[in-house]
Structure 1
Amino acid sequence: MRNALPIDAVVGDYVQLANGGGSQLKGVCPFHDEKSASFYVHPGKGVFHCFGCGESGDTISFLMKIEHFSFAEAVERMAGQANITLRYEEGGYSPRHQQGERTRLVEAHKVAAAWFQEQLETPEAEIGRNFLAERGFDADAAKHFGVGYAPAGWEHLVRYLRGKGFSDKEILLGGLASQGQRGGLIDRFRGRLVWPIRDTTGEVIGFGARRLREDDNGPKYLNTPETPIYKKSNVLYGIDLAKKEIAKSGRAVVVEGYTDVMACHLAGVTTAVATCGTAFAEDHIKIIRRLLMDTSQYRGETVFTFDGDAAGQKAALRAFEDDQKFAARTSIAITPGGMDPCELRLAKGDEAVRELIENPVPLFEFALRSAVARHRVDTPEGRAAALEEAAQIIVKIKDRSIQHEYAVQLAGLLGILDEQFVVRRIGQLARWQRDNPQQARGAQLSARRIEVQAAAQPAVPVYRLNPKDPAQFVERELLKLALQHPDLVSPAFDNYGDEEFPTPPYAAVRAAVRQAGGAAYGATLPDFTAVVREVCPDDQVRRLVTELTVEPIRTRRAADAIYAGEFLVKLRLQAVDRRIAEVRAQLQRLGNRSSAEEMNAVQSELWALQQYGQGLRSRGFEGL
């Protein structure tokens, strides 16, 4: 049995192997974290050895080690893959009750997966078929990915598995059922679409199920619980379909959900995988590194795709925290308009999905942009704060040449012409962290604790208003006019976007005014503020609306259209000046590395903004 399958074929399901010299193959060791390939396989002799951690053995011991198999389970796995029938000593051929526990659980999942697929063709499953069709997946796509349907009853699968010879203990242990209140077993998945989750060898080890009906009070996605064969931190959905192409192309694409994996594969991005109900973490990195043969010599690329909303950006920055553990290049592709790959494919076709993956942004650059975007870089104070936050990201980069390049890029993002000032500041921080590792680590831990505490609190915007800030004063005064005298600022005020109010609390008030119908509608009401207060998202915004309603307008004369026009112009000018600063920084960042077409487009935008700003300054309200 040890020679039933070539050892390189078995190991190759877990590790990308390359020529190691002579008749040997080598790859990244799956048993310890390493930066260079020290894991060798000798196909002719059927053995492996790692010169880093010392693990060695034959095909069976490899399976026992990597899958935590017993000897019998390793033999059963090899026999199944080699189509060999085993004879057990006590009672005929392959008696089920003598098979290893893991083998029985895998078999139960295989049977369940086939049954779920059959159920997808039943009349009850029409809601599931419609769900797939609305997302661009036909019957062939469902079959390719093994998508099935779990009926809405309580014990359909339980009864079916019992009929196939599986015990209640096995069904429960495998996470296919749960204990009912009356002591019996009930199906874990009921009335849902079901995706089989497979390991790298293609064995079904768990399921992910999507809610379809409004009266289903369970979570949107329900996964198999932790079982002897399913550890969510050690699996990636789609890895069985993507592993060969990942190894061949040197690229892995990490998306967020099952339908995103389907959309990517159908669009031709066959390297896509997804986590299963958990954040992308260190164990997932190890899986991808082994397939990429990610070492200092063999460099691959990992592209993360996340929604463009706030949650997606947080997920991307979590991935950035693990970036230093990759030797591979890591990038992020933010989908346009907040669409996920599935929605993008449906809206714009397969080519749009491929273009998304082909044009990612380096993860370091994304992290820098995110840090800078949290500050008002049109003010000296905002630039200084953005520099300090972004510098903490750059000093984490271990490669000094890349660190310098991103320091220069940061200067461009901030619009700081003196690049060497930024380079020197980052150098100072890097030296301080090297010379004071304990203090640096303490500062990082404190920052992490603050971040965790903040995450545990309700998502209420926190921002200290500064009445002495001239830019904030313009926002505040215009909002007071919109609430107290909507007739003076309409209809122009309603054409202003939330982004023209960069102070978060004021942007929230602006959004409430819009939701209440806008200033033009407010001008027709005797008490517009009462309507605005009703649509405020929370008490904090509601209090600010009240405050702005009772605070006097800051003019010695009575508020009139001329005064209102002045502030409409001032706010628009502030937005134009901010955008001019951003475009100038973009020009500086582009330098000589961009095409003439791209440079001309940015320069044209800068010229148009400058002309518009001059018109506002010279013509005032008429220039709006």
Structure 2
Amino acid sequence: MAGLINEEDLATVRERSRIEDVVSSYVTLRRAGAGSLTGLCPFHEEKTPSFHVNPARGFYHCFGCGEGGDVIAFVQKINNVGFTEAVEFLADRVGVQLRYADGGGNRPEPGLRLRVLEANRAAAEYFVEQLSAADGLPGRRFLDGRGFDKAAAEQFGIGYAPLGGRDLNAHLKGRGFTEAELVKAGLIREAGWDFFQGRVLWPIRDAGGSVLGFGARKIFDDDRMPAKYLNTPETIVYKKSNVLYGLDLARVNIAKKRQAVIVEGYTDVMACHLSGVDTAVASCGTAFGDDHAKLLQRLLGTGDVSGGEVVFTFDGDAAGQAAALKVFKGDQNFLAQTYVAVEPSGLDPCDLRMQQGDAALRELVGRRVPLYQFVMRNILEGYDLERVDGRLGALRAAAPLVSSVRDESLVLGYVRELSKWLGMDPDEVRREVKLTVSRRPRPAAVRPEQEEALIPEPAPGLPVPDPRDRRLEAERGTLRLIVRAPEVFPADWNGLVADDFSHPTYRALFEAVLAAADGPEQWTARIVAARPDPVLEQLIVTLAVEPVLREPTEAYAREYAARLRLQLLSARIAELKSRLQRTNPLDDQVAYNKMFATLVGMESQRRDLLAEATAT
């Protein structure tokens, strides 16, 4: 693995990568006054341009969704890649050969990444043309048999690879590509044969729309390749553990609705989008894993998948149960917002749409249940819960599942829920879960006396907030400013109330601020006196010495208060949008209209707060 990018090379990439040129590849920019360009934001849906680019400073900012940064940050966001990958992308674009520290050496073949992407784009166009040609009739028949017409094929860019064996090779060489480049793109085999022959193809794109590779479906019985599905081999741009089919179509909707639906195949993604489930994606040739979760995390806008809903679709049979258990036990974070949508008849989303229509597919997602419940119930069904030994066996089988939950704050709730299902005393269930933890090999950093903390007891006092939790940065920053410079706030603390703080300790501290009496003592001492508590006292001391980002001013205080209120409001908007999505406007028109009107008002309030939060 390459090491750190050489600082000089990084500076050269930044200098040569004009932000207006890079952004223009994705956004139509127009002049908007001196030194500014504007266009429709690529990160959220809007009709009035609020996305601004400042070429002189090299930054972009959207006043609608708050996204902003330099050219590297833009590439990271638009392509859903990390910092190194974004720099490499730009280096190829501007012709810089990167050097790496820590023995990483020079990157071979500068510019290869862009040439592979160009070859993939040309191949995708060729395959689309072949689907419409006379030889593409078998491909069109296959799509028609799956319920997809010409418009659907065009929407998803579906193509057809001819049976000839060297047709694509000859076509792309005629476009100026070398055979070595085509081999490295995974389009041609070493012997010169086309990688895909006689198959229907789906282009697999990144979030920015660049074609990374292809997925191909067998349609002829005498196909020499036995695999039903064949994917592009690993290339410089195509890593199956890092791509999701349909991400280019679902990206904006996932971010807007804070929901991602994970299905198993290309036709399932198509069926979902055509039925109105426009947040559907699928892994390509591999199971959904940690790297896929990271892609979704960036789109959901949070540090973990819990920021929204991640809905997996499984069959109700044994294979579906095994798949659900595999997802649950995987290394990616499991949290309460992970769901499973089960079709009892065993139909996959594509077949469900064909047999029962678009509404059935929307209802499938609407019936989602927490993944934990699905897996737990399947475990318990294997035991006779009417017998004492059956309940004990079920408890011992389920305890490892509960103890494997990564979010410790959820464990106590799951213990109580399991005890209800089993009809057993919660303390007995808790003891068994603790025994499961004690049997598990301990990490080196965990001492025996710390094991009890793995199954948390209800805290008698206030919990210590994590200063590194970025989700709580606005709360901590506001309180830091209040503790250090109360004079920049008006008497009503810029309209803040205790409920604006989601963390119980931060809320308690603000309540102490509201209750602090006037007097000759120092401000921090008066806060401590308002609510004596060792956790609060330590927090106040910490905040008093933490640096503020700028010189405290009244404008800065208003900005921080607006950011805090905006954060809470955004969460409420997301929750309301989720409820709207689950409500059928035809069946419950009154409730739907009422919620929609509320949403309009909240969005207006959000715009006002956003203006305050970015005023300085």
Pair in the same fold by TM > 0.5: yes
Aligned pairs (5 A) from 1:209-608 = 209-218=216-225, 219-295=227-303, 299-322=307-330, 325=333, 329-400=337-408, 402-414=410-422, 416-430=423-437, 432=438, 436-437=442-443
Letter in 2 for 1:339: L
Letter in 2 for 1:108: A
Aligned pairs (5 A) from 1:6-45 = 45=57
Question: 1:66 corresponds to which residue?
Answer: 85
1:205 offset after TM fit, Å? 1.2
Question: Aligned partners of 1:164, 1:11: CA distance in 2, in Å?
Answer: 24
Sort the Cα spacing of 1:321 and 1:297 in 2 relative to 1 into closer, same or farther, 3 A.
closer
- Contact 1:2–1:58, Cα closer than 8 Å, also in 2: no
Sort the Cα spacing of 1:439 and 1:312 in 2 relative to 1 into closer, same or farther, 3 A.
farther
- Contact 1:375–1:382, Cα closer than 8 Å, also in 2: yes
- Contact 1:294–1:328, Cα closer than 8 Å, also in 2: no
Q: Equivalent pairs: percent with the same residue? A: 46
Letter in 2 for 1:69: E
Q: Does 1:192 align with 2:199?
A: yes
- Contact 1:171–1:177, Cα closer than 8 Å, also in 2: yes
Question: Aligned partners of 1:314, 1:43: CA distance in 2, in Å?
Answer: 49
Question: Aligned partners of 1:150, 1:126: CA distance in 2, in Å?
Answer: 11
Sort the Cα spacing of 1:289 and 1:439 in 2 relative to 1 into closer, same or farther, 3 A.
closer
Letter in 2 for 1:65: T
Aligned pairs (5 A) from 1:46-61 = 46=58, 58-59=70-71
- Contact 2:306–2:338, Cα closer than 8 Å, also in 1: no
Sort the Cα spacing of 1:68 and 1:229 in 2 relative to 1 into closer, same or farther, 3 A.
farther
Sort the Cα spacing of 1:278 and 1:413 in 2 relative to 1 into closer, same or farther, 3 A.
same
- Contact 1:7–1:46, Cα closer than 8 Å, also in 2: no
Question: Aligned partners of 1:396, 1:261: CA distance in 2, in Å?
Answer: 31
Letter in 1 for 2:180: K
1:154 offset after TM fit, Å? 1.2
1:378 offset after TM fit, Å? 4.2
1:6 offset after TM fit, Å? 8.5
- Contact 2:310–2:337, Cα closer than 8 Å, also in 1: yes
Question: Aligned partners of 2:241, 2:305: CA distance in 1, in Å?
Answer: 27
- Contact 1:117–1:147, Cα closer than 8 Å, also in 2: yes
SS of the counterpart of 1:337? coil
Letter in 2 for 1:212: I
Sort the Cα spacing of 1:259 and 1:330 in 2 relative to 1 into closer, same or farther, 3 A.
same
Question: 1:607 corresponds to which residue?
Answer: none
SS of the counterpart of 1:325? coil
More off after superposition, 66-75 vs 355-364: 66-75
Match of 1:177 among 160, 184, 188: 188
SS of the counterpart of 2:88? coil
- Contact 1:206–1:230, Cα closer than 8 Å, also in 2: yes
Question: 2:20 corresponds to which residue?
Answer: 5
SS of the counterpart of 2:125? helix
* Paired residue total: 382
Question: Aligned partners of 2:128, 2:285: CA distance in 1, in Å?
Answer: 22
Question: 2:150 corresponds to which residue?
Answer: 139
Question: Aligned partners of 2:167, 2:276: CA distance in 1, in Å?
Answer: 37
Sort the Cα spacing of 1:435 and 1:186 in 2 relative to 1 into closer, same or farther, 3 A.
closer
- Contact 2:245–2:283, Cα closer than 8 Å, also in 1: yes
- TM-score, with structure 2 as normaliser: 0.56
SS of the counterpart of 1:197? strand
Q: Deviations along 1:101-156, whole A, 9 cap, x unmatched?
A: 11111111111101101111123322221211121111100100000111111101
Letter in 2 for 1:342: C
Structure showing greater radius of gyration is 1
Question: Aligned partners of 1:327, 1:43: CA distance in 2, in Å?
Answer: 37
Question: Aligned partners of 2:434, 2:332: CA distance in 1, in Å?
Answer: 19
1:310 offset after TM fit, Å? 2.5
Q: Does 1:121 align with 2:132?
A: yes
Sort the Cα spacing of 1:296 and 1:43 in 2 relative to 1 into closer, same or farther, 3 A.
farther
Q: Does 1:108 align with 2:127?
A: no
Question: 1:504 corresponds to which residue?
Answer: none
SS of the counterpart of 1:186? coil
- Contact 1:285–1:326, Cα closer than 8 Å, also in 2: no
- Contact 2:334–2:406, Cα closer than 8 Å, also in 1: no
Unaligned ranges ≥5, structure 1 = 13-40, 49-55, 78-97, 442-624
Sort the Cα spacing of 1:74 and 1:245 in 2 relative to 1 into closer, same or farther, 3 A.
same
Q: Deviations along 1:6-37, whole A, 9 cap, x unmatched?
A: 8889999xxxxxxxxxxxxxxxxxxxxxxxxx
Question: Aligned partners of 2:292, 2:88: CA distance in 1, in Å?
Answer: 21
Q: Deviations along 1:396-445, whole A, 9 cap, x unmatched?
A: 2244553232223223433x254443244334544x3699557999xxxx
Question: Aligned partners of 2:304, 2:244: CA distance in 1, in Å?
Answer: 24
Sort the Cα spacing of 1:294 and 1:318 in 2 relative to 1 into closer, same or farther, 3 A.
farther
Question: Aligned partners of 1:195, 1:340: CA distance in 2, in Å?
Answer: 18
Unaligned ranges ≥5, structure 2 = 1-15, 28-50, 61-67, 76-82, 97-108, 448-616
Sort the Cα spacing of 1:139 and 1:439 in 2 relative to 1 into closer, same or farther, 3 A.
same
Letter in 2 for 1:5: E
Question: Aligned partners of 1:188, 1:279: CA distance in 2, in Å?
Answer: 23
- Contact 2:188–2:194, Cα closer than 8 Å, also in 1: yes
1:73 offset after TM fit, Å? 1.9
Question: 1:206 corresponds to which residue?
Answer: 213
Sort the Cα spacing of 1:439 and 1:62 in 2 relative to 1 into closer, same or farther, 3 A.
closer
Over the aligned positions, Cα root-mean-square deviation in angstroms equals: 3.5
- Contact 1:76–1:103, Cα closer than 8 Å, also in 2: no
Q: Deviations along 1:516-544, whole A, 9 cap, x unmatched?
A: xxxxxxxxxxxxxxxxxxxxxxxxxxxxx
Sort the Cα spacing of 1:354 and 1:388 in 2 relative to 1 into closer, same or farther, 3 A.
same
